[in-house]
Structure 1
Amino acid sequence: MPFLTPGLAFLGRGLTYFTVYMGSAYYAITTIASGHGVEVPAWVVIAGAIVAAPVFGRLYVFIRYQRQKRRAAALGARVFPKAVGAWPGNLDILKDSLKNLEIGYPGDGLEKTTDIVGYAFNLDIMYSDLIFTACPEHLKTMLATDFQNYVKGERFQEGMGSVLGTGVFNSDGDMWKFHRSITRPVFTRDRIADFDLFDRHSDQVLVKLKERLREGHAIDFQDLMLRFTIDTATEFLFGNCVHALSAGLPYPPKAAYVPPQQQDPAGRIANEFSAAFLRSQEIISVRERSGWLWPLSEIWEDKTIEPMKVVNAYLEPIIHEAVERRKNTLPNEDKQAEKESEDNQTLLDSLMDATMDPRVLRDEILNIMIAGRDTTAATLTFAVYLLSQHPIVFQRLRSEILEKIGPNRRPSFEDLKELKYLRAVLNETLRLFPVVPFNVRESINEAVWPSPDPSKKPLYVPPGTKTAYSVFVMHRRTDLWGPDAEEYDPDRFLDDRLQKYLVKNSFIFLPFNAGPRICLGQQFAYNEMSFMMIRLLQTFSEFTLDLASGPDEATPPAAWGAAPGRKATEKVWPKMHLTMYANGGLWIKMKESDSV
């Protein structure tokens, strides 16, 4: 165990601040006392300074708030309304937030404040400003029109750094521009429209599905999609597939009989890698939710060390081999082969054109892998879940696919443009279950945001303030999407509601972010998801959710039945770390089509 854990480093900084405070207080009190000819015992001075510390702390917070109010007024604005908790420092709100992350529905707890003050407010956790918004006008400001003023920030990077390093999702300024510039060439139209990659791995998916379903068992579709997307992602990113689909798929936990399985070594490594990858993201997600207090939960250890050992054990040999191969390539050796078309380069190849630093290579590969694996797998999982609950939508989508493509033909890039309803189904899935439901930035300079309520003054954002936002909450707002906002209806992306809501304000729908940080792999993701959905609906004529096959944690708590909105009717348990997923998996049965 490294000596300087996050918690010990945090306590060390705190001790330094406290020592400076005590020294200053001791000097001030003794100086004043001696000036009046009074000798005060040292223990009285020290005790007084300790007792006064909370008072000075509250005084500092009060003065800071008054200064913000004056500055806001000078700019013709107002400070954000504050969430009001029952405990000092809103610690009860923090406690409930962490509890909801574990056992709640995404967004639980926020409605208490949104119902009172609207969709923009200051959570003020432990006297530290934390602005939350689910307003499209604010997201547009942060992500696009005033992009330069909002960064990930040092606090975010500190919590995420042990997993994300300096990769594109955890960097700002020149480092972010560097990662962005070397990643962009990989997502050319020719590369993302090359469907051979999807075809190979989707064929494996269909074989696995048929084998298991013909045994009479349900299959954890989420697990299967995570394997599919990690295989496509690793092959696409560095030309070295992890072969997760070669592993034996899990049987239902409640199956009466499970035949013995021979574990393929590559499959075992893939399973270990996936589990560690998930665990590391869960840890840094809790860190971000805990605010500046998170190191106190890691006093004796950095909780990411063990899972990241497994992740790095897989990535580092691949990167080392690629770096050595590049170093050993002679400068005058077959120039044309050395300068192969960029369209044939993997991300790792492109990265090595810019740097040979193994740490930078690892960080960027890992960041893009999260985007390429987890997000696509989550969308496919929730798409199949929603189709299983809406058979009319399923049959309409299947009819479109069979009419435009047929029961067996491999889809092409051009085919996808004709499948309007498929795109609407994917968009509606991304609206209800956006893959990155919550995100955060930090202001550099002070700013003024428009007020969601036109009758009130604009809102003042102090410099150096964390600004969290939620597309999950925004995507379900009835004032932005209509009274049926929480209902699943792909036609909203095709009928007059498209013009009424989305065309009028495009920032109400942000599944792939926006502005300069918009997801480079957006079209790649749409292509991959569309290809997999087409193959599934060509092969299967019915999806059925099999709740009895899944583990207990796959079923939402019974108490949800009394909740408002979708939460009351949800058949799976949506959860999140950095991205959305179905807790306990998505256990599905499928009926093979007669035409297969």
Structure 2
Amino acid sequence: MELPPGPRYILRLIPTFAVPSLAVYFALTLLQLLGLCNLSLWFIVPAVLLAKPILLLWNIHYGKWVVRRAAASFGAVVPPVVQEWSVFTIKEIAATTKTGHPCNKMLEFEEKYGHVFQLELFNNVALATTEPEHIKAILATQFESFDKGPMFIDQMSSLLGTGVFNADGEMWKFHRAMTRPFFTRERISDFEIYHRNCDITLRVAKQRLNEGLSVDFQDLVSRFTLDAATEFLFGNNVGSLLAGIPYPPSHESRTSRSFYDHPSTAFVKAFVQGQVQSAMRLNYGAEWPLSEFWADEVKPARNVMDQFIEPLMEKALARRQQEIDGAIESKAEEETLLGHLVNHTQDTVILKDELANLLVAGRDTTGSLLTFSMYMLTQHPDIEKRLRAEIFDTVGPAGSPTYEHMRQMKYVRAFLNEVLRLYPPVPADFRCSNKATTLPAARPGQKPIYVPVNTPTLYVTMNMQRRTDLWGPDALEFDPDRFLDERLQKYLIPNPFILSPFNAGPRICLGQQFAYHEATFFLVRLLQNFTGFALDDSVNIAPPADWASGIGRKATEKIFPLSHLTLYVNGGLWVQMKELPGA
């Protein structure tokens, strides 16, 4: 029987506390036996009990001295340390996951301490940065010096296992080698998946709008991306769109029993719960087991996901064996990613973990992009008209886009890039140094930043992509033209790492073209069918009043964005749309 996280964590700590105490006890006992001292029990007991805390304080102060000396030997500097107690820092960062503007706490620290600083979180010291040169080093030029790290892998293991997003070293290389060939092809079948699921999505939206009610666009596109992802990965569509979509809270009673009973509903609920709880672990660092002391709160969600994955995996493995035995004809090209994967490994744990990882990416990242694309359409009717003009000129008022159409629609691509800039699906990400190293100086005349071994390093993409010194004085404005006019040459081309929604370097997202194609396809079909996009303020949850006064944020959102592993709108994005004549 596997121990719960809390007791398992405590057992791991016992040696680190017991050894110093035992060492002090035996040392004092030896001194007494040798007649060198005569100590009372009142002295021995406190000395034994305080051995570890005293050693810990010594290690902290001695460690800082060692780091300063090591930094000097590298010709580097140590970034400033946030002067706030660990307990308060962790509490406030954890609260941000539920109520705060994504990365706003990091922005407060940034405005006080600069674009790179250190956070002391109990026994851990983490580094945070929004410098493009640092992100370039972490993801590309010094890639070998940074891993996901043991702490992140431990935090995510219940949900992601040993999948590609939660692996380092040879296991990561194995996953990349398995999946890369499948994502390098341009397959007509991908567009067939988009077309089939997009048509169902738009039909469901029209049915709800015809009832005179608004649509939760976030829920709608999350179902679209989930159905498309499961069809792409497994060749078996989970059919979440067939379950229907939720009604606004004031009409919740009209939601049918079949909606709650549909197999996809339990899958989606578990899928989201697993990510939310996994994100909470990130806030607590290595001490996360203490927040789930008696039970792993992610594992039940992953078990529900596996109940869907396992039968499909077993079917794919059985088919492969039939092809080997000659019972059925082998296909020249695998139609699904699962069919591709079983030809490279038959390890069921590896297969399940990889598929769970890709489901997170396939559903949530593209769903987030489309959700915030809709939000921008509600705020910028002029941009909507310009997008539709390009779509009609390139694709026409009906029909589906092709690869060639997508290459021609420059403004559509610029629009999606601008959404990714202001609302990156992954607002922040982690790496961990596997050796002592430095991050390059961000400006001429500055010294590099020293990074000790095993330092968790957080790069805050969302804040970096809103910096006015990197993007110009209009950085907080939504303007797709910045990817088409002179600002592209001035800001982006000299340093492409100031836009990194899909990561970069060796860990660059293999499915980024699939995501771009899927989002573009949906956007084209949406604008061929609908216009007059508007928020339903009677349903949407307004952001907290104190956001607008948040330090440096200038938060102007009319919605309530939050982040677990990916960015989403709290309470959903409820919108009204009008059908285009003849659509």
TM-score computed with the length of structure 2 as normaliser: 0.96
Give 3-state SS (helix, strand or coil) of 2:398's partner: coil
Q: Which amino acid aligns with 1:290?
A: Y
Structure 2 match to 1:570: 557
**Conservation of the 8 A alpha-carbon contact between 1:22 and 1:46:** no
Verify: 1:402 aligned to 2:392, yes or no.
yes
**Higher mean C-alpha deviation, range 41-50 or range 54-63:** 41-50
Q: Which amino acid aligns with 1:134?
A: T
Q: Distance in 2 between matches of 1:349 and 1:194?
A: 15
| 1:140 aligns with one of 108, 126, 136 | 136
**Conservation of the 8 A alpha-carbon contact between 2:20 and 2:51:** no
Q: Which amino acid aligns with 1:26?
A: Y
- Please state how far the C-alpha of 1:305 moved relative to its aligned partner: 2.3
Structure 1 match to 2:482: 492
Structure 2 match to 1:375: 365
Structure 2 match to 1:312: 306
- Please state how far the C-alpha of 1:207 moved relative to its aligned partner: 0.6
Structure 1 match to 2:114: 118
- Please state how far the C-alpha of 1:330 moved relative to its aligned partner: 4.5
Q: Which ranges in structure 1 are unaligned for 5 or more consecutive residues?
A: none
Aligned 1:36-75 pairs, distance under 5 A? 36-42=35-41, 44-75=43-74
Q: Distance in 1 between matches of 2:230 and 2:112?
A: 46
Structure 2 match to 1:299: 293
- Please state how far the C-alpha of 1:565 moved relative to its aligned partner: 6.1
Q: Distance in 2 between matches of 1:309 and 1:341?
A: 34
**Conservation of the 8 A alpha-carbon contact between 2:110 and 2:116:** yes
Give 3-state SS (helix, strand or coil) of 2:128's partner: strand
Structure 2 match to 1:585: 572
How has the CA–CA distance of structure 1 residues 287 and 427 changed in structure 2, closer, same or farther, with 3 Å as cutoff? Answer: same
Q: Distance in 1 between matches of 2:505 and 2:550?
A: 36
Give 3-state SS (helix, strand or coil) of 1:589's partner: strand
Structure 1 match to 2:194: 198
Structure 1 match to 2:427: 437
Aligned pair count?
583
Identical-residue share of aligned pairs (%): 44
Structure 1 match to 2:98: 102
| 1:341 aligns with one of 332, 336, 343 | 332
> For 1:68-124, what per-residue CA distance to the aligned partner results, in whole angstroms no more than 9, with x for missing partners?
111111111111211110x3xx22111110111111001121233212321111112
How has the CA–CA distance of structure 1 residues 288 and 532 changed in structure 2, closer, same or farther, with 3 Å as cutoff? Answer: same
| 2:382 aligns with one of 376, 392, 406 | 392
| 1:232 aligns with one of 228, 232, 236 | 228
| 1:527 aligns with one of 496, 517, 528 | 517
Give 3-state SS (helix, strand or coil) of 1:290's partner: helix
Q: Which ranges in structure 2 are unaligned for 5 or more consecutive residues?
A: none
**Higher mean C-alpha deviation, range 482-491 or range 107-116:** 107-116
**Conservation of the 8 A alpha-carbon contact between 2:217 and 2:574:** yes
**Higher mean C-alpha deviation, range 374-383 or range 390-399:** 390-399
How has the CA–CA distance of structure 1 residues 210 and 64 changed in structure 2, closer, same or farther, with 3 Å as cutoff? Answer: same
> For 1:118-160, what per-residue CA distance to the aligned partner results, in whole angstroms no more than 9, with x for missing partners?
1111112114210111111011111111111111111111111
- Please state how far the C-alpha of 1:448 moved relative to its aligned partner: 1.5
Give 3-state SS (helix, strand or coil) of 1:106's partner: coil
| 1:207 aligns with one of 203, 206, 210 | 203
How has the CA–CA distance of structure 1 residues 161 and 192 changed in structure 2, closer, same or farther, with 3 Å as cutoff? Answer: farther
Give 3-state SS (helix, strand or coil) of 1:129's partner: strand
| 1:151 aligns with one of 123, 143, 147 | 147
**Conservation of the 8 A alpha-carbon contact between 1:29 and 1:45:** yes
RMSD: 1.8
Q: Which amino acid aligns with 2:467?
A: R
| 2:284 aligns with one of 290, 296, 306 | 290
Structure 2 match to 1:560: 547
Structure 2 match to 1:352: 342
Verify: 1:261 aligned to 2:256, yes or no.
yes
- Please state how far the C-alpha of 1:258 moved relative to its aligned partner: 4.7
Q: Distance in 2 between matches of 1:193 and 1:510?
A: 28
**Conservation of the 8 A alpha-carbon contact between 2:190 and 2:232:** no
Q: Distance in 1 between matches of 2:246 and 2:513?
A: 31
Q: Distance in 2 between matches of 1:259 and 1:9?
A: 46
Q: Distance in 2 between matches of 1:293 and 1:10?
A: 8
Q: Which amino acid aligns with 2:574?
A: W
TM-score computed with the length of structure 1 as normaliser: 0.94
- Please state how far the C-alpha of 1:564 moved relative to its aligned partner: 5.7
**Conservation of the 8 A alpha-carbon contact between 1:487 and 1:566:** no
How has the CA–CA distance of structure 1 residues 260 and 488 changed in structure 2, closer, same or farther, with 3 Å as cutoff? Answer: closer
**Conservation of the 8 A alpha-carbon contact between 1:574 and 1:580:** yes
**Conservation of the 8 A alpha-carbon contact between 1:486 and 1:565:** no
**Conservation of the 8 A alpha-carbon contact between 1:76 and 1:458:** yes
- Please state how far the C-alpha of 1:473 moved relative to its aligned partner: 1.1
**Conservation of the 8 A alpha-carbon contact between 2:107 and 2:463:** no
**Conservation of the 8 A alpha-carbon contact between 1:105 and 1:567:** no
